[in-house]
Chain A
């Protein structure tokens, strides 16, 4: 088989898997984030602040482990851009090898009407100045110019690395931070505007305003993204859309039905109508909401589960393609054979008839999340295992 075909072979493999067709091997997605940097010759800061170093990190990582697709190619934490505006909410500690992010709370409940009236104006006049110190200082215009240049440099890196992986490594694009990310409005409120505690309180104290905000944000950001699904898919990407579940983690099933499901159902309906597929990284657990997903037709959703028991997930939702399953516990603390045995168990039990993509359960970020020798053994095993 020529190299020309490897890209298409990978894309076909992902699609066949998502459509529950039996395949020659199980496709593998890398869910590695900053661990890639710790596995390299650079420190967190060195790679995060220098795109050339980050390029070396992600390329070496691919050449070492040979995954079929990546949830991150070094673009997850654009610290050069945010720092340029004085937003120091990414806290990097090279000694502890940790990157933390502060809880993002940028408006008070009394301000919901302003957000609802004009989201972009609200973000510009209220959210950004609170988040980015330099916008409140002298020479703000100059700082913004610098941030713009940093954004262009970041975009250039993003473009370059995606193209390199497609052309040189024949690896299709799974997640592009600058396109194809469909965020539920509740996720926007949860992650970027009100924070965990804020939103938890808002759901009860300001329910109608939360629902109004969801409607406005859906119209502004989700609808155009859904309209784009009418266009033909890209020939070099794995799936057509990508999203993440985080806000769901504070909701009861009843609240999920009220705040989350209506928008999500519209997204899923559009995917089904256009014959498209969406990859969802689900932080925490989602099986407490499984009843909502029972009627989703096969072949449109791929859910990457973090803490759900993936064997249980398969039983409860035989119509959903799942990704994940390989525990950081084992990759980080067990020996090679134990890791291989577990990988084999995953494939044998839930991968035989399609519907399973091999990946790590968590977003792999810290040194002890994985040992190099374990990862080498497992990726090699999964690549060659024909079941």
Chain B
């Protein structure tokens, strides 16, 4: 069984999270969405 990846690493953790954004069509959209969400989480 794979060791759980630390999602707070970059780019490994970031990429793991991108994979979960299946409701978006491609990598560009996923990266954009995640960057928006990250900024939101930082500001709220």
Residues of chain A touching chain B, judged by Cβ–Cβ distance below 8 Å, are 77-78, 81-82, 85, 87, 120-121, 123-125, 127-129, 131-132, 135-136, 138-141, 144-145, 147-148, 151-152, 178, 183, 188, 191-193, 221
Contacts and interface: CB of A to CB of B under 8 A. Distances in A.
A123 B38 contact: yes
A151 B43 contact: no
Contact of A141 (B17, B38, B39, B43): B17
Contact of B43 (A77, A124, A144, A191): A191
B42 A144 contact: no
Nearest to B5: A141
Nearest to B36: A178
B35 interface: yes
Given A124-B10, A138-B4, A141-B20, A151 B38 contact: no
Given A81-B44, A141-B4, A121 B10 contact: yes
Contacts of A151: 37, 40
A206 to B, nearest CB: 20
Interface residues of B, number: 23
6 contacts: A81-B40, A123-B42, A125-B9, A136-B8, A145-B20, A221-B39
Nearest to A126: B8
A138 B7 CA distance: 10
A220 B20 CA distance: 26
A82 B20 contact: no
B38 to A, nearest CB: 6
